[in-house]
Chain A
């Protein structure tokens, strides 16, 4: 598999604090890269660095080769054209990530319209409904006019995923997409992401601190700690032969969530 995104010596720093420290990884075209690590290890900063959306004061260094384009060399308007269109993002907390003042349809359509000039409001709404149907929101035609607070947590995350896939991106970055959700819907959301990926051929970066989750879906895996990549390889490699004691420690935590793995397998999650 050729690489869609290649990060080389990517760093993020806030003043003197280097929260992502010269990491390198590749995302295979149409494949899944899992990024695992404990809280504060720099996973979110890595994803925001790719999007060019670091918080104020954050500085990005290194190289990000996205399908032959050096993202770090793009101007802000050029990057804006990539954002949400070629690279879409699904955030951790779907409630706070959706604007309470607008219907979900408006917010999905907004993503769609901002990358397609001359799309009518009506066509964009239709696209929003279709996107909602693709993430299995029932009665999408009616629910498109509902507000985020009228949805359950899992449904909100489906809305976020609909928003991401509405523009047919080449890469979807999901930053802990299930952490804020009930255990019972976590597996469904992961399954949905895998399904979206199968259907659209988009590549996926799946960020989690749950090694069990990512081992189910990821082709490649990097394990991060304190801003550094401490382990990299295929999921099987890392599972069968963890090189780093930290990875071992993460693996030891796996049996805790064995149930959700089982569920994932039986519901046809990508093995």
Chain B
């Protein structure tokens, strides 16, 4: 078990390192000179040189990358005396705020979006999948199949705009979103999230419905389910112990990974609904070409995905006795 964990953590660090290297190369070598950007319109060549010096842009690539990496773990001080504590992701060219601070401020709301969406899509997906598995080939199954096809084929932004139009503008059952702290007005806070949760959940719910249906139907055809029936077990026990557990275990683990992916921010949904989370931060910094922020958000997303994968793998070795921790993956 320990070796398994050590291996996984080492692998995870390697992946994160490669992601760092790659994004650093893309953002800092292939994009326009940040010094020019920071300097603005009325800019003298001397001033540009000064900024380059402060940012360390005159150093060779490897030195720059090394400074970036060590900044992540130990923090760094930029020329001109700007302090950046670990994990240092640099500072925004636009607002001069530290990227780490900008992200940390926005993480909680993104987490709320992700958690709510995950709960919703798991509920919809598992219930829908079970229902269609039980009703296989009947009306309910076909009806749900139609819904899932729709849910999978409508793009997120279309769904977001459509739902917003229907529920906010037309039916007016939901308010325009406005940022309120939970403590001030819990009801308004909750109403704010209903649409973003739904928009995110619907796409996932559709694929989870299909997955659940397929898994349950496959499992019900397993020989061990026949054995359970041959024992004279009550049908509810056959279902609970012998059908649901094997059918749903992989779904829960996949949900873990999808959830981790969402923690990196839901770009479109957050932007459409004006939620000031990590996703909106990413979208804003892309339009403003604010490279350190884009890079910070990218690394954060990669971090969550990689860690999420590892946690799921570890969990799996606990849930499924056949997966021996320590066996080569």
Contacts and interface: CB of A to CB of B under 8 A. Distances in A.
Interface of A: 51, 53, 80-85, 88-89, 91, 93, 96-103, 107, 110-111, 114-115, 147, 149, 160, 163
B135 interface: no
A115 B232 contact: yes
A80 B227 contact: no
A176 to B, nearest CB: 13
Contact of B224 (A83, A84, A96, A103): A96
B148 to A, nearest CB: 23
Interface string B228-268: 11111110010001100110010000000000000000000
A53 B230 contact: yes
Nearest to A166: B231
B230 A101 contact: no
Given A82-B232, A97-B224, A99-B246, 15 more contacts: A53-B230, A83-B230, A84-B230, A84-B233, A88-B231, A91-B227, A91-B230, A96-B223, A98-B227, A99-B224, A99-B242, A101-B245, A101-B246, A103-B321, A110-B228
A99 B230 CA distance: 13
Choose among B223, B230, B234, B320 the residue with the greatest number of A CB atoms under 10 Å from its CB.
Answer: B230
Task: Name A's interface SS.
Answer: mixed
Nearest to B320: A101
Nearest to A99: B224
Contacts of A98: 224, 227
Chain B contact residues (Cβ within 8 angstroms of A): what range?
Answer: 20 to 34
B322 interface: yes
8 nearest A-B pairs in the assembled complex, by CB-CB distance: A84-B232, A84-B231, A83-B232, A96-B223, A111-B231, A99-B224, A147-B321, A97-B223
A81 B228 contact: no
Contacts of B233: 80, 84, 110-111, 114
A166 B249 CA distance: 30
B246 A93 contact: no
A35 B90 CA distance: 78
B59 interface: no
A93 B234 contact: no
A89 B321 CA distance: 25
A81 B232 contact: yes
B142 interface: no
Contact of A91 (B223, B234, B237, B321): B223
A104 B144 CA distance: 37
B226 interface: yes
Contacts of A147: 321-322
B239 to A, nearest CB: 13
Contact of A83 (B229, B246, B249): B229
B222 interface: yes
A101 B219 CA distance: 12
14 contacts: A53-B230, A80-B232, A83-B230, A89-B230, A91-B227, A93-B223, A96-B222, A96-B224, A99-B227, A100-B224, A102-B241, A111-B232, A114-B234, A149-B321
